[in-house]
Structure 1
C-alpha cells in the first residue's frame, strides 16, 4: 500500500489551531516561571509549592499536541492504493488440445502439466470473476460458458481430449462469441463487464495456414481488439519436443512469433513457459493481474487509531504526573 493523497486536504487548516495551542502552552509556561521568580519569600515557596518534575511534566501536553496532529491528518482523508478484488469481469481460458500436447519434453506431458496449471489458475482466481473454458484443435468448443462456479471449469479441464490440427483463430473466435453472449445478458446500466482471453498454445496454427485468413489467428486478434478484449498469450513447451504420429516421430516446436503477434494485435501480453513450473508462475502472475485492481481507498483508520491512543496516553500521563488532566 503506497501513500498517495488526501480527499479533504482543507482539514489541514486545523493545524493552525494546533500550532496556536502549542504556542499558547509555551507562553503559559514562561509566564508561570516569571510569576514564580517574583515570589518574595522563596523559602516559603519551596515548602508550599510542589517540587518541579522537570521535563516529564511536559509529556501530557506534547502527547496532546501529537494526538491533535494525527486526528487532523485523519480528518483530511488520506488515501492509498490498495489491491481490490475485481467483480463482474469475464475471463475465457482458451487451451490448445492438438496432438502436439502429447509431447513429453515437459514432464509428465505437455497436456498434463497444462491441466495442472490451468486448474490452479481457475481455483485461485477471484470469486467475483466469471471464468469460461474453450478448447481447440481442428475446431473449437466452448466447454464452459462464463460462470463464477469454479468446479465446472475444473472438471472440464480434467476431461480435455486431444485431437488433430491447430485452429488457433477458431479458438479465439469461440471465446469472443462466449464473451459477447454473456455480456448481452449481464450488461445492465453499467455496460458490459470487462473481459480478457487467456490463450495457451504449444504450436503454430495449421487450420487455416494463413494467419490473416478470415478465420485465422491474426484476424481473430484484430477482432478482439475491436471488441476491447485483450488476449494474454502463453507459448508453452520447448524447441525439442516430438510426438509420434502414424509411426513416425514429428517435431513439435513452439511458435513464439505468432503468439507474440496475437498478443500485440489484441492489445494483450505475451508469456513464454518452457516448463511446468514456469507455466504455473505465468498463470499465477495472470491471476494477480486479472483478479485484482489498484484503487484509491480510504486510509484514515491508522491515523484515527494512533491519534486516539496518543490522546488516551496523554490523559493517563497527566493524571499520573500531575493529578489533573492536561
Structure 2
C-alpha cells in the first residue's frame, strides 16, 4: 500500500506510550532476573525450576507491542490514492453519421463498429455520470439529453441513421448547448458539474468547408475551451476507405489532422482508431478516465485488521506459554 499522508498525525504521540510499555517490559524482566539471582539457591533452582523457554517467553509481549504500533498508525488516519467513481459529471457523446460511415474498411461498416463500441461505452459508464447523445451529419440532432438512464442512450445508438454531409462544428455546438442547459438545472452550491465532449468522426468537415467559419469545427472547439468543456476527439477509420455513390466508388479517407486540432484547441485529447478493436480500446480508456478519479481516501482498515489480529495472537500466545494474560 502506498500511503499519501495521514488525516490525524497527532495520534502518533501515542507512540511515546507504546515505547514506554516496551521499555517497562524490558526493565521488569531485568528486575525479575536480579531478584531471582539474589535470593535463590542456584543448585536447588536447577533441580526444581522448569526448563527455561528462552526467547519464546517474550513472544506475547513482542506481539502486543507490535499490535499497539499498528493500531496507533490506524488512529493517525492513513490515506492512500484510490480510484473512486465520479458522482457528478456530464458527458456528451457526439457521433458522426455522415454517409462516409458506410465504408467497409472497418468491418462490418464504420457505423456498425462505432455503434457497438459506443454501446459498450455507455453500458460500462459509472452510474453517477450523466450521459447524453448527439448525432451529426449536415445538421446536429440531440437524441438524448444528459441522463443517468443508460437504456435510452443505448437504444438511440442502435437506431442511428446515415445522412449527407459532415457538420462537425454543429455537433460540438449542440453538445455545448446541451451541457449548458443541463448545468443550469443541476448546478447547485458547488457550481455546475464538470463536463466533457467525446467526439467520434471519420471524415473532414464539409459544412461549412472553412473550419474557422462561425459554425466551423475549430470555432466550436475554441468555444468549448472558453466554456471549460474539453473535447476528446476520436478519428475513426483508415486512409483507404470508400463508399459507393451512384454506382461509383468515392474515397472517404479519415481526417486525423482536423480532429487532432479540435482536441488541441479545446484543451482535450486526440485518439486514433483504425479498427473496431482499437475503437473499443479507446472507448474503454475514456470510460476509465471519465468515470473515475483519483482521490486520497481512508486507508486505515488494513492497519486496524492486522493490528487486531496480532493483538489476539499475542493474547493467545500469553495464555499458551504463561497460562495467563500479560
TM-score normalised to the size of structure 1? 0.98
- The answer to whether the 8 A contact 1:91-1:197 is kept is yes
Cα separation, 1, equivalents of 2:47 and 2:322 = 18
Partner of 1:150: 150
- Flag structure 1 segments of 5+ consecutive residues without an equivalent: none
Cα offset, 1:47, TM superposition: 4.8
1:185-212 CA distance string (max 9 Å, x none): 1112221111100000000100000000
Question: Which of 266-275 and 238-247 deviates more?
Answer: 238-247
Instruction: After TM superposition, give the deviation of residue 40 of structure 1 in Å.
Output: 4.5
Corresponding residue of 1:167: 167
Q: Which residue of 2 aligns with 1:86?
A: 86
- Give the Cα separation in 2 of the matches to 1:257 and 1:11: 56
- Deviation string for 1:1-31 (max 9, x for gaps)? 6321111111112112211211221122122
Within 5 Å, give how 1:168-317 maps onto structure 2: 168-317=168-317
State the partner residue of 2:5: 5
Q: Determine the structure 1 residue equivalent to 2:19.
A: 19
1:285 & 1:245 partners in 2: Cα distance?
35
Give RMSD over aligned pairs. Answer: 1.1
Query: How many Å separate the matches in 2 of 1:293 and 1:311?
Result: 36
Partner of 1:111: 111
Q: d(CA) in 2 for partners of 1:36 and 1:232?
A: 79
Paired residues of 1:39 and 1:45 also in contact (CA < 8 A): no
Give SS of 2:185's match: helix
> 1:119-138, aligned counterparts within 5 Å?
119-138=119-138
User: 1:122: how far off?
Assistant: 0.3
Deviation of residue 37 (structure 1)?
1.8
Whole-Å Cα distance in 1 between the matches of residues 146 and 40 of structure 2?
A: 90
* Distance in 2 between residues matched to 1:146 and 1:18, nearest whole Å: 55
**Structure 2 residue matching 1:286: 3-state secondary structure:** helix
User: What is the DSSP-based 3-state SS (H/G/I as helix, E as strand, rest coil) of the residue aligned with 1:38?
Assistant: helix
Give CA-to-partner distance per residue, 1:228-278, whole Å, 9 cap, x none: 100000000000001111221111111111101100111100000000000
CA distance in 2, matches of 1:51, 1:15: 35
Partners of 2:223 and 2:256 in 1: CA distance? 21
Q: Is the 8 A contact 1:225 1:265 kept in 2?
A: yes
Q: Is 1:32 matched up with 2:32?
A: yes
Change (3 A) 1:127 1:40: closer
Q: Residues of 1 paired with 2:78 and 2:101: CA distance?
A: 52
| Equivalenced residues, count | 326
Q: Secondary structure at the match of 1:46?
A: helix
* Superposed structure 1 runs of 4+ greater than 2 Å apart: 43-51
Rate the CA distance shift 1:143–1:39 in 2: closer, same or farther, 3 A: same
Deviation at 1:88, TM superposition (A): 2.3
**CA displacement, residues 253-305 of structure 1 (integer Å, 9 cap, x when unaligned):** 11111101100111100000000000000000000001011111110011011
